Amino acid sequence: MPDITINDRGAVLIDKALTIDGHSTNPLRVVTHIHSDHVRDLSKSVNHCRGVVATPLTLDWLIELGHKVGKGNCLKLDYGSKIKIDGLEVTFERAYHIPGTSQVVTTDGDGLKTVYTSDFKKPGKGTPIVDCDVLIIDAVYGNPSHIREFDDYIEDVLTDLVRQLLSKGPVVIQGYHGKLQEVMQVLRANGVDAPILLTPKVYRLTQVAEKHGLKVSNYVSVDSEDGAEVMRTKWFLMMDHVNSRYSRNLNGFKASKILLSGWEFKKPYRYLGYSKWLVAFSDHADFKGLMDYVINSNPKLVIVNSVRSSYADLFADAVRRTAKKECVVMP
């Protein structure tokens, strides 16, 4: 079996060759996507690893977010392309999470395949389920009660709410980088055509993502002349990072706000008061989705990464009982 450990920072170490989403002394560092819990200790890896690898969009987004990954040992790897490091073959497979996210597939000298899923949703639909010998999974929603029955139609729920609120005035959507870009693409695909105002950082990240195939169109930066023009029309959608203060300055507009959160299991959306709504739009599979991946990837061993899981032990128990798989929790 491959030699796998997970350190207390959540880094996945495979065969003294690879370190995924955290730093170690292994020579190749992979970054699966830009979320902060997956880019831990990246500067250490840039300085000490032989190589740092990510998809082209992830690497360009990391640069935009201020990480020093522009040159030297940093390498862009497309989905489906292969790289070899100390006898281990490494391939990226798509993951439906935020744009640029990859699952990491390794094959060792004995032909044994290991998959680290990273974050994902819609297994078998947007996220390919990879057949493997060892499956490493972050059970973000590892509690059997973490089930969102409405996951399959949440995009339509969000679209309908946005449309309804736009008929009354401006709408602000708050979420994390990556999710905001995904949501814009979903709304455009569903026919929402209001101009989109973006805060400066979200604007730059969206421009970068468009170069890699994201489809949004008709968006402007809030601090541009076009942005001021759009604001005067009082009919727009604004996308803002959840920790940013930008949209707080919109008080004069009577804007409706939508907060995107995955930690909501009872209802697809609810009113929070003060023109604010919560939509249970998640970028993570719920408990059922996680279990679906485990069963259908057909692994001999499942490893649950406790650093990025909630209820890792509970999830491991469920894997043993329901999927009848050998399962360990690390670290």
SS3 content of the chain, % helix, strand, coil (to 5): 30, 25, 45
* CB closer to Zn ion out of 35 and 325: 35
Which pairing describes strands 18-20 and 12-14: parallel, antiparallel, or unpaired?
antiparallel
**Could you give the string, one character per residue 144-183, with x where binding to Zn ion holds by CB under 5 A and - elsewhere?**
----------------------------------------
CB 303 within 8 A of CB 134: yes
- Residue number with the shortest CB distance to Zn ion? 35
- Which 3 state secondary structure label does DSSP give 214? coil
Nearest distance from residue 253's CB to Zn ion, in Å? Answer: 31
Name the CA radius of gyration of the chain, rounded: 21
Amino acid letter for position 200: P
Kind of pairing between the strands at 82-85 and 88-94: antiparallel
**Segment near Zn ion (CB under 5 A), from 10-18, 42-50, 111-119, 304-312?**
111-119
Q: Which stretch binds Zn ion (CB under 5 A): 13-21, 35-43, 60-68, 108-116?
A: 35-43
How far apart are alpha carbons 172 and 161 in whole angstroms? 12
From 23, 29, 35, 179, residue interacting with Zn ion (rule: CB under 5 A) = 35
Counting every residue, how long is the chain?
331
Distance of closest approach, residue 37 Cβ to Zn ion, in angstroms: 7
Scanning residues 267 to 306, which ones bind Zn ion (CB under 5 A)?
none
Q: Which is nearer to Zn ion, 17 or 104 (CB)?
A: 104
Is 119 a residue that touches Zn ion (CB under 5 A)? yes
Could you tell me the smallest distance in angstroms from the CB atom of residue 285 to Zn ion?
12
Among 115, 123, 125, 160, smallest CA distance to 141 is for 123
Distance, CA of 34 to CA of 54 (rounded, Å):
10
Least gap, CB of 199 to Zn ion (angstroms): 20
User: What number of chain residues touch Zn ion (CB under 5 A)?
Assistant: 2
Instruction: Specify the residue, 134 or 285, whose C-beta has the smaller distance to Zn ion.
Output: 285
Tokens 């209001």 belong to: 194
Complex with Zn ion: residue 23 or 97, whichever CB lies closer: 97
In angstroms, what is the minimal distance from the CB of 198 to Zn ion?
Answer: 20
Please report, as a single letter, which amino acid is at residue 122.
K
Residue with tokens 């990072």: 241
CB of 262 to Zn ion, least distance (A): 10
Torsions phi, psi of 295, nearest 5? Answer: -65, -45
Select 119 or 264, whichever has its Cβ closest to Zn ion. 119
Is residue 308 a contact residue for Zn ion (CB under 5 A)? no
Contact range with Zn ion by CB under 5 A, out of 34-42, 73-81, 209-217, 298-306:
34-42
CA 104 – CA 20 distance, rounded (Å): 8
**Pick 119 or 240: Cβ nearer Zn ion:** 119
Shortest Cβ 124–Zn ion spacing (Å)? 19
In angstroms, the CA 130 to CA 124 distance is 9
Residues interacting with Zn ion, by CB under 5 A? 35, 119
